[in-house]
Chains A and B, each alone.
Chain A
Amino acid sequence: MSDPKVPDPEKPGLKVPDLKPPDRKMEPVMQTRFSALAAAALVALAAALPARAETALVAVAANFAGVAEELSEVYGGESGNTVTLTIGSTGKLFAQIGEGAPFNAMLSADAATPEKLEAAGETVPGQRFTYAVGRLALWSPDETRIGADGKAALTDAGLRHVAIANPDLAPYGAAAKQALQGLGLWDGLQDKIVMGQNIGQTHSMVASGAAELGFVALSALLDPENPAGGARWEVPQDLYAPIRQDAVLLKAGEGNAAAEGFLAFLRSPQAQDVIRSYGYAVE
């Protein structure tokens, strides 16, 4: 699935170990000339080595975009490899992979999609793992909307709209639905619930004030570059199934050092610290 226009540095013919030492049985003149050539070739090769650093195209679920950008920079600085990110909703990225999009790896917003990709034979088996666990928060830009008890905010008589991500589309939406059911509020809030297509759109509904309250990703509120004001209630994690976000190495990423290296880097303590700082848990 790699782009045919870009020469693949992994092709056997280009591999460094295939270079043979000069043949000792040559005529002296020839040998000198050959040595010079070989030296020139070696110099050229040495100069080319850093450029031989690999590039990976990684599909990233929108909610993880900010963290992924920071992580890819850190990883790129350390390894010399380049990780280019394509940000999208998990459903859209899934469809694109099915249509042959040249992604090397995918960081999904859920666990189900990577499982589906694996079942469809789109992945390198045995490489699936949870890189982050999302946490849900009830949020309002209005400080007075949410006190210590989130349930009280949700049952406030003056409440008009509660924004959640569509539970059929977004893992955070499914978690919000579970939490509301766990609180016994799901049925009662039906005519107040408005749905975003994903957690980002849900966030904008609350941020714009169109909905007074909304269930959003804690990570979006803690984003170090753009921390959210207002009031929030971190939804107890026993109210919803963990929002496990899984990563997979896709077939196009097999043997791609940048893709494999980036996935390994995600599991390092250094990367996990960054992931936690954005409000995710790690397993």
Chain B
Amino acid sequence: MDLPDAGPLWLSLRLAFITTAILLVAGTALAWWLAGTRSRLKPLVEAVTALPLVLPPTVLGFYLLVVLSPNGPVGRLWLDATGTTLTFSFAGIVIGSVFYSLPFAVQPLQATFETIGRGPMEAAAMLRATPFDAFVSVMSPMALRGYLTAAVLTFAHTIGEFGVVLMVGGSIPGRTKVISIAIYEHVETIDYAAAHVLSAGLLVFSFLVLVFVYAMNRRFPGHRG
């Protein structure tokens, strides 16, 4: 049997890795604010964060196409600054993925921060640690399980991304043709053998990821919210 081209697989892995890195940093800030705030804006921000869970990716993809295209506000700025367009680019699908996977990073982190509470941070502050130092040396290690969950889920969810990339990507090999697009094209061209190889790989991968997350939750039940 012919093995399908591995290019889309590597591209998906690269996309998921970069998206996860961005979201662990940006998601920490957002989750930390959400965990501590008493602002009346909290439900609004929480709702926006959770939107990608309920919206079809095509809605996200459609608005990204409108906003990121050279006629759109963000696409125009990007074009002026870099001379390249955001649509049909790797940068464009990274932006799409960050929105698409946002809840998968923010929600586990927020839950973890809320479970641990502000006590350890206050204790560190009494010992004259700066807030940043307290966060890095006290909070982060305690929140390790939350970080692992967030990272694994974000990574896996991004690997499975389809609709967003379909609409803003343009199926360019090595740039925007990710594994889900490759599977879709194999099915449409009635090359079911290649579709099976990629799909089965993705299925096994996703299953192992979830087993890992649930096994971890079992091993560290202490911080469960």
Residue positions of A touching B, CB distance < 8 A: 89, 91-92, 94-95, 160-161, 163, 166, 168-169, 193-197, 201, 204-205, 208-211
12 of the cross-chain contacts (CB-CB < 8 Å) are: A95-B190, A161-B88, A166-B171, A166-B185, A194-B171, A197-B188, A205-B87, A208-B69, A208-B87, A210-B75, A210-B170, A211-B88
A197 to B70, alpha carbons, bound, how many Å?
21
Residue positions of B touching A, CB distance < 8 A: 65-66, 68-72, 75, 84-85, 87-88, 166-168, 170-172, 184-185, 187-190
Q: A163-B170, A166-B171, A204-B65 are in contact. Are A210 and B85 (CB under 8 A)?
A: yes
- Kindly list 11 other residue pairs between chains A and B, CB separation below 8 angstroms, not including A161-B87, A195-B172, A210-B88: A89-B188, A91-B190, A92-B188, A94-B190, A193-B172, A194-B170, A196-B171, A205-B87, A209-B72, A210-B65, A211-B88
A193 to B170, alpha carbons, bound, how many Å?
9
B182 to chain A, nearest CB (A): 11
A195 to B70, alpha carbons, bound, how many Å?
17
Please indicate which of the listed interface residues B75, B87, B166 has the most CB atoms of chain A within 10 Å of its own CB.
B87
Looking at the complex, which one of B71, B167, B184, B188 makes contact with A209 (CB distance below 8 Å)?
B71
Q: Is the Cβ of B69 less than 8 Å from the Cβ of A210?
A: yes
B164 to chain A, nearest CB (A): 13
Q: Is the Cβ of B69 less than 8 Å from the Cβ of A209?
A: yes
Q: Is the Cβ of A161 less than 8 Å from the Cβ of B185?
A: no
A210 to B170, alpha carbons, bound, how many Å?
10
A231 to chain B, nearest CB (A): 16
Q: Is the Cβ of A168 less than 8 Å from the Cβ of B190?
A: no
Across-interface contacts of B88 in A (CB, < 8 A):
161, 194, 210-211
Looking at the complex, which one of A196, A197, A210, A211 makes contact with B184 (CB distance below 8 Å)?
A197
Query: At the interface, is chain B mostly helix, strand, loop or mixed?
Result: loop
Q: Is the Cβ of A169 less than 8 Å from the Cβ of B189?
A: yes
A9 to chain B, nearest CB (A): 35
Q: Is the Cβ of A205 less than 8 Å from the Cβ of B170?
A: yes
Q: Is the Cβ of A197 less than 8 Å from the Cβ of B65?
A: no
List the B residue with the shortest CB-CB distance to A193. B172
A172 to B208, alpha carbons, bound, how many Å?
41
Across-interface contacts of B68 in A (CB, < 8 A):
210
A125 to chain B, nearest CB (A): 21
Across-interface contacts of A205 in B (CB, < 8 A):
65, 87, 170
A166 to B184, alpha carbons, bound, how many Å?
12
Q: A208-B65, A209-B69 are in contact. Are A194 and B172 (CB under 8 A)?
A: yes
Across-interface contacts of A201 in B (CB, < 8 A):
166-167
A148 to B58, alpha carbons, bound, how many Å?
36
B99 to chain A, nearest CB (A): 17
B67 to chain A, nearest CB (A): 10
Q: Is the Cβ of B190 less than 8 Å from the Cβ of A161?
A: no
A91 to B189, alpha carbons, bound, how many Å?
7
Across-interface contacts of A209 in B (CB, < 8 A):
69-72
A194 to B85, alpha carbons, bound, how many Å?
12
A168 to B38, alpha carbons, bound, how many Å?
55
Across-interface contacts of B168 in A (CB, < 8 A):
210
A223 to B134, alpha carbons, bound, how many Å?
64
A59 to chain B, nearest CB (A): 15
A94 to B192, alpha carbons, bound, how many Å?
13
Q: Is the Cβ of B171 less than 8 Å from the Cβ of A195?
A: yes
List the B residue with the shortest CB-CB distance to A168. B189
Across-interface contacts of A196 in B (CB, < 8 A):
170-171
List the A residue with the shortest CB-CB distance to B171. A195
Q: A194-B172, A195-B170 are in contact. Are A210 and B87 (CB under 8 A)?
A: yes
A208 to B92, alpha carbons, bound, how many Å?
15
A196 to B170, alpha carbons, bound, how many Å?
6
Across-interface contacts of B84 in A (CB, < 8 A):
160
B63 to chain A, nearest CB (A): 11
Across-interface contacts of B75 in A (CB, < 8 A):
210
Q: Is the Cβ of A197 less than 8 Å from the Cβ of B185?
A: yes
Q: A194-B171, A196-B170 are in contact. Are A208 and B71 (CB under 8 A)?
A: yes
A201 to B65, alpha carbons, bound, how many Å?
11
List the A residue with the shortest CB-CB distance to B70. A209
Looking at the complex, which one of A91, A160, A168, A169 makes contact with B85 (CB distance below 8 Å)?
A160
Across-interface contacts of B87 in A (CB, < 8 A):
161, 205, 208, 210-211
A173 to chain B, nearest CB (A): 11
Q: A94-B190, A197-B184 are in contact. Are A161 and B85 (CB under 8 A)?
A: yes
Across-interface contacts of B85 in A (CB, < 8 A):
160-161, 210
A10 to B3, alpha carbons, bound, how many Å?
49
List the A residue with the shortest CB-CB distance to B192. A95
Looking at the complex, which one of A91, A163, A194, A210 makes contact with B70 (CB distance below 8 Å)?
A210
